[in-house]
Amino acid sequence: MKLCMIGKRGHAYYVFESIREVPGIELPCVSSGCGDDPEPLLKMARDNGFQPEFRADWKAMLDEFRPDVLCIDGPFELHAEMCAEALKRKIHVFCEKPIALTLEQLEIIRAAYEKSSARIVSMVGLRYEPAFYQAHKMVSAGAVGKVKTVRAQKSYRLGIRPEFYKHRATYGGTIPWVGSHALDWILWFSGSDFESVSAIQTTEDNFGNGDLEIAAHCQFRMKSGVLASAGIDYLRPAAAPTHGDDRVRVAGTEGVLEVRGGKIHYIGKDGEQVITPETPDRRLFSDFLLELAGGRPSVRRIASSSGTWSGLMTTAAANSAAPCSASCFR
């Protein structure tokens, strides 16, 4: 299987975490996709045993090397065009989130996807973190009974952000970027699609970071009747022991389960347990490749734009301060 890569602005390292789990992968060429220095991506490739060529023109790279899979981790504002061009060429896409910054861009991807035999998946990989992976297995096995509520939290240190984060046209928004993980957990643990959403967000006291929303709160009703919420912020103190504070609480008719601090806190009929999870036997990128090759189904469903769609619709609800009904979601 032949792979090409564009950029290293986000989670391109997902590729190299598990690429050796799939035999026969070639990496003949990479591109920065813009004016970024290509050396960090080239070095990452070399450090993992590959010697790719470099092409400044990413479209020319696709036509010259005709890869089976394209990893996209370039400028956010170019993701939609890159995804669409790959899909038109029947190239499978592994793209950093958000895959689009506007609903109009997302429709361009959708149109290309519907005419293509290729698949697309985004780099929303926290389903594979040990505590979340095992917690979902427990919920699926009935540990909390019928799920009634899901509450997700995604909190990051702000740190010093690159200039593109400060402008909506190049960043897209905190809900589609940081919140994509929280929304994905809600979809996953509830086992249902979104029906309606109300949301609020703020740029106040964002430490001079322009359009960047420092915090957002979102509430959802799922089609199954599950009630869900997500808290998203860049307010984790610099002195915190980790960059992120990721949490999910799932409450059902027979118990409550919460993931926090890398462990699972579970209360069921036999009382409270604190569970240290085992490491999953699969990872995001290799899971994607193995499903493409006809192997086991992946933990993330291939070919869904629901995460980006939900993030953009939630952002729209926050911008308008009006609820978005079932007709907003597909």
- Write the pLDDT tens digit of every residue in 121-134: 999 889 999 999 99
Phi, psi of 66 (to 5 degrees): 45, 65
Q: What is the CATH number of the domain that holds 78?
A: 3.40.50.720
Q: Choose the final residue of a domain: 60, 90, 122.
A: 122
Q: Choose the final residue of a domain: 93, 122, 151.
A: 122
Count of structural domains, the chain:
2
Tell me what pLDDT residue 296 has.
65
- Full DSSP string of 31-94: E-SSSS-SHHHHHHHHHTT---EE-S-HHHHHHHH--SEEEE-S-GGGHHHHHHHHHHTT-EEE
Q: Are residues 114 and 130 in the same domain?
A: no
pLDDT tens across 142-185, in order?
999 999 999 999 999 999 999 999 999 999 999 999 999 999 99
Q: Are residues 145 and 267 in the same domain?
A: yes
pTM over 0.85? The answer is: yes
Q: Are residues 100 and 29 in the same domain?
A: yes
Q: Which range marks the domain in which residue 219 is found?
A: 126-279+302-328
